[in-house]
Structure 1
Amino acid sequence: MAANSPETTRRDAVRPLDDRGGADPRWEVPALFWNGLTEGGRPSSPQALLDMLGPREYPCYGSLRTDGSISTAGDYRGKVVEQRMAAARFWREAHVGGRHYPWQLRVRLRDHPELAAFANSLLTAYRPYLPDTPRMEYSAVWLAGTGSRTPLHQDAGNGILVQMAGVKLARLLHPAAVSADDCSRIRESERLLDSYVTRPEKAWGCFRVELSPGSALYIPRGWHHDVACTTPSISLVLRA
């Protein structure tokens, strides 16, 4: 098997749902993939990706919160600042002395044909190993600093989070494991999230997974997820 082939590399990322939760067939189960980055058209290193992005400046979001959480949703208005920055400069800033750097930079793939072609090659590589799902479309590449977080939220469609550089920690909650009110409260506090996912009665619907370069997390629609960067990170987000 080729080193970078996704063939037979799907791993279940969630513990089996037990009788306490009563598995709901309406909801698909997340899965973790390894070695899915294809060689053809793939940036061979973070520097190769930065070279591809060039000197153009992209939207860059910084957290005003102590927990580093960043969201472009309306409830975070006044909690996030925005500027523009070149990707190479962002990556340098994120690596200064291993510091806490609660910023994220977004490159929309629709604005970058070369990067979009790379994303399309990933879709081709992953599709045979995904559950039946509507057609997925690429979305964006995110560069993120240590300590930045995308707080707990749900997406309307299926998604794949592909880790290209650095390490991220993802925590996922089954759609039936958390109420809308609890989700809003947890979104405001990482400490509440840690407490919530360790409750014995919630164990059936909560799990965590560490993403390293070459791994990818399939997140079915409706699953709540919170993603934090433990090192400077580059990720590709694919959405249905």
Structure 2
Amino acid sequence: MLMKPIRIIEICANSAQSCVEAEMGGAKRVELCAGIPEGGTTPSYGEIMTARELTSAIDINVIIRPRGGDFLYTPAEVQSMLHDIEMCKQLGVHGVVFGCLTKEGDIDVTLMRRLMDAAKPLSVTCHRAFDVCRDPFVALEQLIELGCDRILTSGQQSDAVKGISLIAELVKRAANRIIIMPGCGVREENIVKIEQETGAKEFHTSARRIVYSKMVYRNENVPMGSNVVSSEFETVETDRKKVAAFVS
């Protein structure tokens, strides 16, 4: 009897508690990030350490991204990334996630190799910097040559459903030399479509729910940041039930 290939789910986790929820829901791996509204930035030492302490059976990959915005980094930002990679190694995480481009929009092979050498022996995923590179097929071969384990991609579109055509071509060209992992807009209602039409086996999603504040006294007139979506008294967190739905 032929066995159906196992679908591997990676959760974009915004906190140590989200890592716990992801593990309880049966996810294989998390990408631990801070700064979700910015597309993900490097979490703190404390957040990474707590995630390690509160979980036992899930792989933790940490995003190495010193700021939001583009993926052209200054020498000071590179130094910060190197220090953060060293921190991740000391904390014993499974892997790190980063991506660097040249000003012309190509993979910065020299910088990527420097970061990857620093990251050894951790697993390395190239994040969605790939989605804004100039030539995805050239970038694919460069990342394979560099030794990246996987590429997180929406197929250079605003979400993975719109990017199905490119993702499918990347999976075909990768030919099992690197993992192509669709992400961005992967939902319970469309994951089967993405899976069937791309041939991908790993998927990246958030599976979050809104968590409402338990504060009784509330001053709604003082926002804490310029990018507040709704309320200072709402946050988001991974939902183990949503994770379980993806896994099954």
Answer whether TM exceeds 0.5 for this pair: no
Structure richer in strand, relative to its length: 1
TM-score by length of 1: 0.25
Q: Which has the higher contact order (CA 8 A, sep 6+)?
A: 1
TM-score by length of 2: 0.24
